[in-house]
Amino acid sequence: MAEKQEEPSSAQNGEPDNAEEGEEKKKKKLKREDLPPFEIVTGERLPAIFFKFQFRNVEYSSGRNKTFLCYVVETQGRESVTSRGYLEDEHAAAHAEMAFFNTILPKCESSARYNVTWYVSSSPCVTCADRITETLKKNKNLRLTIMVGRLFMWEEPEMQAALKNMRAAGCKLRIMKPQDFEYVWQNFVEQEEGEEAKAFAPWEDIQENFQYYEEKLAEILH
């Protein structure tokens, strides 16, 4: 189970010296909490340390309480346009999948076709899976392929039903192969400034874990 990371308490940070300072601190905290709990980065790359931890296809994802979603959107209309970027969430309010539909692709023009590919650290939760299903049903000109590193709560019957509904709505759900992790590394992960691009270094159990999750997904979607 993912471990919840809590913000340090005021006692850990040191109490304010006076009431006025305390009031100022409250205002700052309110401002910070008003911000959406995800980060949108378009055309930039995620830090290598995040990729190596969050995308690792381990069986038990302890401590991995974020979802990283790298996307490629190919819009085919009067002109063909390709855009890419990544979203990151804290599993607090709007998850990365929701953020994509709310901010990156808020509407699908009927005159265009959209081929969207996601590379996600883990598969969507039930609520996000339902939103994906609804969106695909409403937008017949949207094609969505989701490549996931891990399956999220795949043993839960409700989760299995949600994944089946996604597939029935036309979503292609795949487990990331070692080559897919390498693709994300090359296209979405930032390299140290001034250094040559480093080759992707697969972790020891990457192939075995891919096969494990591929078997589980096949059982769910059979």
In the chain, the domains with their CATH numbers are 41-190+203-221 (3.40.140.10)
20-24, 163-167, 190-194, range with the lowest pLDDT = 20-24
**Comparing 34 with 195, which gets the higher pLDDT?**
195
pLDDT of 177 strictly over 70: yes
At residue 204, φ and ψ (nearest 5 deg) are -60, -40
Q: What type of residue sits at position 74?
A: E
Give me the mean pLDDT over the 83-112 stretch.
84
Type of residue numbered 162: A
% of the chain with per-residue pLDDT over 90: 51
Catalytic residue list: 97
Return the pLDDT at 39: 45
The distance of Cα 11 from the centroid of its chain, to the nearest Å, equals: 33
Least confident of 54-63, 93-102, 148-157: 54-63
Task: Evaluate if residue 180 carries a pLDDT over 60.
Answer: yes
Q: Which residue intervals of the chain are DSSP H helices?
A: 10-13, 19-34, 48-54, 96-99, 126-138, 157-168, 178-188, 206-221
Global confidence as pTM: 0.77
What's the token pair of residue 177? 């192969």
Give me the pLDDT at residue 62, please: 61
Per-residue pLDDT for 25 more than 50? no
Answer whether 40's CB lies under 8 Å from 89's CB. no
User: Mean per-residue pLDDT for 190-216?
Assistant: 85
Report the pLDDT value the prediction gives residue 118, as an integer from 0 to 100. Answer: 98
